[in-house]
Amino acid sequence: MQIARKLRKVSPSPTLAIDSKAKQLKASGIDIINFGAGEPDFDTPDYIKQAAITAIQAGYTKYTPASGSPELKEAVCEKLRRENGLDYTMKEIVISCGAKHSIYNIFQVLLNPGDEVLIPAPYWVTYPEAVKLAGGKPVIMKTTEKTGFKITAAALRRKINPKTRVLILNSPSNPTGAVYTEEDLRDIMKVAVAKKIHVLSDEIYEHLVYDGFRHVSPARVIPEAKAWTIVVNGVSKTFSMTGWRIGYTAGPEELVAGIGKLQSHSTSNPTSIAMKAAVAALTQPASALPEMKTAFRERRDFMLSKLGSLPGVSCLKPRGAFYVFPNVSGLLGKKYGDRTVTTSLQLAEYLLERARIAVVPGGGFGADEFIRISYATSMDNIKQGLARMAEALSKT
Ligand SMILES: *Cc1c(COP(=O)(O)O)cnc(C)c1O
């Protein structure tokens, strides 16, 4: 069969190899602890579910405007004002089927063939693929622990060329947990504004920040920033609503109108019922959030203390999201039994077989000397899984 050329350049999810192996082992009755989760292990709060049930019963089950219901756009404007100090009108908001969909659509609307998008690595696996699907060229900016996995304004300035159109920022970051401070962002936005490049700010983990760190949107750090910032957010992570598929974009009116047009011929509106649930999520107090945050922070601290005692492993303290991203370069090249482990994928495979834990190899995030371990799983699983990991790594 002939498949479109643009799809050939797109990599399938790099986590798939491990994931399918984990499922295979699980299906054969082997007890696997999964540290691959990219979603909270908490249930959607009841008051949010109830809003959806009420919507169904009231017959709110028909098409809405393709760009989303006015009620949810209003709730998003209010949220951005209240929580982020940002002033947007409804014409600058478009609702999509999850933040991932928002990101896909932004690149479809913004990019021409050959346009370049700067992506700091380690990056969320979807960014480069979404850029390629829009005909753009992902340009990776490597970061290391030395700068806390953050890009600097100076590095950004050096990397911008006439083809550069967009910089992606994801703070708190998946997979590193890095959080940009207001100062970091001010310096970066000065460069972006001067060079006239857009900054796509993926703020999906904004409420999952620890240790007194605070999420700040780059859109508000200097007066000119808002015009060049495209804010992407959604309800998936904050409200444990990954399956509901509601995300949104706040940005310049022309871009937002373009996304609305695209959606009118592709998805049409996001699900009417899920939008009602999202209205409840954004307008009522986020009462389940403090408990979730406390659990995440405790699990993170426990993980860091255990990982810290493993020879060959070092881990920068993540300040947000729900992942740790340890550097495992000290393990690569070692022999475990009769096998030599030279890449993060091989290490993940070894840990899956020997320790029966599933971790995500860093290669897919553009950082092969790392693995990602999610703490969106119970403390019991974490205790057991890390003990098994320590045992497996002692078998040299
Ligand atoms: C989970 C995630 C998203 C998207 O979530 P949706 O469920 O599509 O709203 C976006 N960016 C990052 C970095 C994520 O981890």
Q: Span 197-217, mean pLDDT? A: 97
254 shares a domain with 292: no
Average pLDDT over all residues of the chain: 96
Q: How far apart are CA 220 and CA 353, in angstroms?
A: 48
Cα–Cα distance list, 382 to 21, 73, 334, 354 (Å): 20, 39, 25, 16
Query: Which tens digit of pLDDT belongs to each residue from 133-181?
Result: 999 999 999 999 999 999 999 999 999 999 999 999 999 999 999 999 9
Q: How many separate domains does the chain show? A: 2
Name the H helices within 35-93: 46-57, 70-84
- More confident site: 12 or 108: 108
Q: Span 86-113, mean pLDDT? A: 98
Is the pLDDT at 258 greater than 70, yes or no? yes
pLDDT score recorded for residue 24 = 87
Token representation of residue 196: 């006239």
Range in 4-13, 121-130, 144-153, 383-392 with the lowest mean pLDDT: 4-13
Q: Of 283, 313, 340, which one is at a domain's C-terminal end?
A: 283
177 shares a domain with 36: no
Q: Of 248, 283, 318, which one is at a domain's C-terminal end?
A: 283
* 254 pLDDT tier (thresholds 50, 70, 90): very high
* 66 pLDDT tier (thresholds 50, 70, 90): very high
Q: Of 263, 283, 303, which one is at a domain's C-terminal end?
A: 283
* Ligand 1 site, CB within 6 A: 38, 98-100, 124, 170, 174, 202, 204, 234, 236-237, 242, 247
Q: What residues contact residue 312 under an 8 Å CB cut-off, 6+ apart?
A: 328, 330, 331, 334, 393
Beta strand pairing call for 164-170 and 198-202 = parallel
Of 173, 215, 236, the residue with max ligand 1 atoms within 8 A of its CB, to mutate for a pocket test, comes to 236
350 shares a domain with 247: no
Q: Is the pTM of this model over 0.85?
A: yes
Beta strands in the chain, from DSSP E residues, in sequence order: 33-34, 93-96, 116-121, 137-142, 164-170, 198-202, 229-234, 247-250, 323-324, 334-336, 339-341, 357-358, 360-361, 371-374
Q: Span 299-311, mean pLDDT? A: 97
Query: Which tens digit of pLDDT belongs to each residue from 316-358?
Result: 999 999 999 999 999 999 999 889 999 999 999 999 999 999 9
Q: How far apart are CA 69 and CA 46, in angstroms?
A: 22
Output phi, psi for 28, to 5 deg: -85, 15
pLDDT score recorded for residue 48 = 98
Nearest 5°: the CA angle 107, 112, 113 is 110
Is the pLDDT at 14 greater than 80, yes or no? no
194 shares a domain with 136: yes
Output phi, psi for 246, to 5 deg: -130, 120
Is the pLDDT at 387 greater than 80, yes or no? yes
Q: Span 38-50, mean pLDDT? A: 96
195 shares a domain with 143: yes
324 shares a domain with 301: yes
* 208 pLDDT tier (thresholds 50, 70, 90): very high
Percent of the chain with pLDDT over 90: 91
pLDDT score recorded for residue 128 = 96
pLDDT score recorded for residue 17 = 73
277 shares a domain with 166: yes
308 shares a domain with 278: no
Residue range(s) defining the domain that contains residue 351? 5-43+288-393
- Altogether, the residues listed in the chain come to a count of 396
Is the pLDDT at 303 greater than 80, yes or no? yes
380 shares a domain with 299: yes
132 shares a domain with 195: yes
pLDDT score recorded for residue 12 = 73
Q: Span 249-256, mean pLDDT? A: 98
118 shares a domain with 181: yes
364 shares a domain with 231: no
pLDDT score recorded for residue 188 = 98
CATH code for the domain in which residue 300 is found? 3.90.1150.10
* 15 pLDDT tier (thresholds 50, 70, 90): low
Which atom of ligand 1 sits closest to the CA of residue 99?
9
Distance 354 CA to ligand 1 centre (A): 31
Of 202, 230, 322, 372, the residue with max ligand 1 atoms within 8 A of its CB, to mutate for a pocket test, comes to 202
Of 100, 201, 323, the residue with max ligand 1 atoms within 8 A of its CB, to mutate for a pocket test, comes to 100
Q: How far apart are CA 321 and CA 205, in angstroms?
A: 6
CATH code for the domain in which residue 211 is found? 3.40.640.10
